[in-house]
Chains A and B, each alone.
Chain A
Amino acid sequence: MSNHHNNGARASETEQMAQSQYLKVFVQRDYSEGTVVKFQTRFPPELEGKLDRQIFEGTITRLNSYFAEAEKATCSTYCEGCLACLTAYFIYICKETHYEKCLKKVSKFIAEQNERMYEPRGLKLTDPSMRGLRVLEISCLDRPPNV
């Protein structure tokens, strides 16, 4: 890294080291059904021995079902969209959308899973909406990086 001489990054450097002191695994998106948010259920080999396959798959499936619900084309979401259009989109200023509610559910679910399943095993999930819904980040809190 060439930033060791740069004092601008000095403050965050220590932080950065603290951040990358453990291994992180990234579960990628599954695009087989289009652009709906769906994560791959393939078990990452890095987590072998730390986590049961069933737990991992269960988490991912639940997560995928939340996102499927968020993007499902139901009558209520269409009505919401039409209503927004009719109000010249002013409704978005004061009303939370269906998708936002679903993302809140996802955050809650992630927090709950962390508490019950992952943190006792030295793992930690990161809310996918923090990563742009691109990846699901799993940190191994007791393993150094580059293993």
Chain B
Amino acid sequence: MTQGKITRKWEAFPGQNRFYCNGRLMTAPHSGVFLLTVFLITGTSALFFIFDCKYLAENVTVAIPIIGAVLFIFTMSSLLRTSLTDPGIIPRATNEEANYVEKQIEVTNSANSPTYRPPPRTKEVLVKGQTIKLKYCFTCKIFRPPRASHCSLCDNCVDRFDHHCPWVGNCVGRRNYRFFYMFIVSLAFLAVFIFACAIAHLILISKEDSRQFLDAVKESPPSIIVALICFFSVWSILGLAGFHTYLTTSNQTTNEDIKGSFTSKRGQESFNPYSQGNVCSNCFHILCGPLTPSLIDRRGLLTESYMAELARPITTEPVLPMKPYPIQNMNGPTHITMNANEMPGIYRQTTETTESNAGSVTHLVSSEQPLAIASTVHQMSLAQQQQYKSQPSLNLGRAHHAHHHHYHNVTSSSASAAGGSSPPPPPRVHKSQSLADNLNSEDLHLDAVVLGQQNKFVGSSRLDNDMTVQDRENSLLSANRLRLLQDTTMIESALDLDSLDDSSLGTNSQNGLMKVMV
């Protein structure tokens, strides 16, 4: 909608990722656990550097703070790289590519191949002699390349998908696996190092004065906190580091390992076709091999053609008919003016039938076209009235409610204005009387509030109405929706146009109401 503002491609990115620094950094949607990770690591390290390092540097060696700092910087750098870079997202297919792939599927269908069944959303390819099944991704409109998988949290296909790690707040895939692995390994080292240093600190204190260990703890409580945090976390980190070392040496991903993709089953020989051959080359290839550049051009300039190329349901799907009406409600005084402008016509239409449910529905429908030109509203509500009279009142709990509001509104305004004369025929007369008496702003205010409520009910009963409204009206309504959808400023200008029809140029509600009533 705000196309003028969007300049970079990341702003139109179809996945769930968040972007920072104008697209330079990206991460997965929920980063709470990631912040916890950062807090735990920095907090523990800070305690260690403040309380333990000073003592150890003075009494043991200066190397301890240096090693600690290097490990810490490396860990944080790897962590931030893992979580703030593109994990290897495969961009979604353009409309045309998706259509082409779709056509190819049809062709293979008609070929009557036994391996492809009616909705053949998988494709089999041979990778170094091993049969690999490629699944079709309905979101990205592509056959996922081998080893890729769709991350439901980020809503992207990620190449060489390992897993989505909440601790680092990102997917782990082809592009950031090496960072992730180095993060895990360096964190394991850091945790062991800090744990060892903290314990050494405590032992040295107790040795120094030949006291009990507990006394040493009392003297330096941060050390024991640091030691405990490290003690409890180091096991899982070491386990993870070991597991990922095994995966790296065998060139597998967590995803493939869990699924057991390359384990021999039912006597069938199965091997990992992606393996480089031996442990060393696997490690080198994964950790130091060529690094694929990011394929999503996040910082590229967003062009019209790029927007058009993307098969994106967000922009291509029509915004549902329910939407525009709540928007109106939010829009404040001008809207109320607008509705008020149309109120006279509506009152005239419904006064005879206010006792029946059908009447209230008519009222709802007619007040529901705030952007329509006044004369057409008049005609339409006549037509609708006929329709709704024949309509059985099924759903009218809500409508009845609305009807009450409306009725209450009418009686109260008439009571205040004309001193409780019998309800309706032309309430317009009452209104002009009230204007003649004196413009009662409170009365007007009451009017406005009730109108707002009515609008809400209109919004909720919108679907039922939509089904029975005639084609002509439908087209008019859709024209209204189009205008409503433009954006807020357009709505306002549309309103102004319509108020011109009622010879009302007012911009605030009171002004508008006054002119209507005259």
Residues of A within 8 A of B (CB): 1-3, 5-9, 11-13, 15-16, 19-20, 24-26, 29, 31-35, 70-73, 77-78, 80-82, 84-85, 88-90, 92, 97-100, 103, 129-135, 137, 145
Contact = CB atoms under 8 A, between A and B. Distances in A.
Contacts of A84: 288, 291
Contacts of A35: 145-147, 159-160, 274
B482 to A, nearest CB: 5
Given A12-B304, A16-B308, A34-B128, A77 B289 contact: yes
A34 B127 contact: yes
A73 B284 contact: yes
A66 B460 CA distance: 59
Given A6-B316, A8-B485, A35-B274, A81 B288 contact: yes
B282 to A, nearest CB: 11
Given A73-B290, A97-B291, A137-B96, 9 more contacts: A3-B316, A12-B307, A31-B145, A32-B128, A33-B128, A85-B287, A90-B77, A97-B293, A132-B90
B97 A131 contact: yes
Interface string B474-518: 000010011001100000000000000000000000000000000
A76 to B, nearest CB: 10
What are the 6 closest A-B residue pairs judged by CB atoms, nearest first?
Answer: A81-B288, A132-B91, A88-B77, A16-B308, A3-B316, A6-B318
Looking at B94, B146, B481, the one whose CB has the most chain A CB atoms below 10 A away is: B94
B95 A16 contact: yes
Contact of A9 (B97, B297, B315): B315
B93 interface: yes
Nearest to A19: B308
A88 to B, nearest CB: 4
A71 B273 CA distance: 16
A70 B291 CA distance: 9
B315 A5 contact: no
A118 B478 CA distance: 45
A2 B318 contact: yes
Contacts of A130: 297
Interface residues of B, number: 61
B276 A85 contact: no
B189 interface: no
Most B CB contacts (10 A, CB to CB) among A25, A77, A99, A132 go to A132
B318 A88 contact: no
B318 A3 contact: yes
B161 interface: no
A97 B290 contact: yes
A7 B486 contact: yes
Contact of B281 (A71, A73, A135, A145): A73
Nearest to A97: B291
Contact of A99 (B91, B160, B291, B317): B291
B273 to A, nearest CB: 6
A89 B78 contact: yes
Contacts of A33: 127-128
Contact of A6 (B78, B81, B179, B485): B485
B1 to A, nearest CB: 5
B305 A31 contact: no
Interface in B250-299: 273-274, 276, 281, 284-285, 287-293, 295-297
Contacts of B281: 73
Among B96, B146, B159, B309, find the residue whose CB has the most chain A CB atoms closer than 10 A: B96
Contact of B308 (A15, A32, A90): A15
Contacts of A72: 290
Nearest to B475: A5
Contacts of A77: 288-290
B1 A103 contact: no
B73 interface: yes
Contacts of A99: 290-293
A37 to B, nearest CB: 9
B179 A19 contact: no
A34 B142 CA distance: 18
A14 to B, nearest CB: 9
B273 A34 contact: yes
A34 to B, nearest CB: 6
B125 interface: yes
Contacts of A19: 96, 305, 308-309
B197 interface: no
A13 B96 CA distance: 14
Contacts of A129: 293, 295
Contacts of B19: none
B87 to A, nearest CB: 14
B95 A20 contact: yes
B284 A134 contact: no
B319 A6 contact: yes
A1 B318 CA distance: 10
Given A2-B317, A6-B319, A12-B304, A32 B125 contact: yes
B287 A81 contact: yes
A134 B305 contact: no
Nearest to A2: B318
Contacts of A132: 90-91, 295-296
B198 interface: no
Contacts of A78: 284, 288-289
B407 interface: no
30 contacts: A2-B316, A2-B317, A3-B315, A5-B478, A6-B485, A7-B482, A7-B485, A7-B486, A8-B485, A15-B304, A19-B308, A26-B100, A29-B145, A31-B126, A31-B146, A32-B125, A35-B146, A35-B159, A35-B274, A70-B290, A71-B289, A73-B289, A77-B288, A81-B291, A85-B288, A88-B74, A97-B293, A99-B293, A131-B94, A145-B96
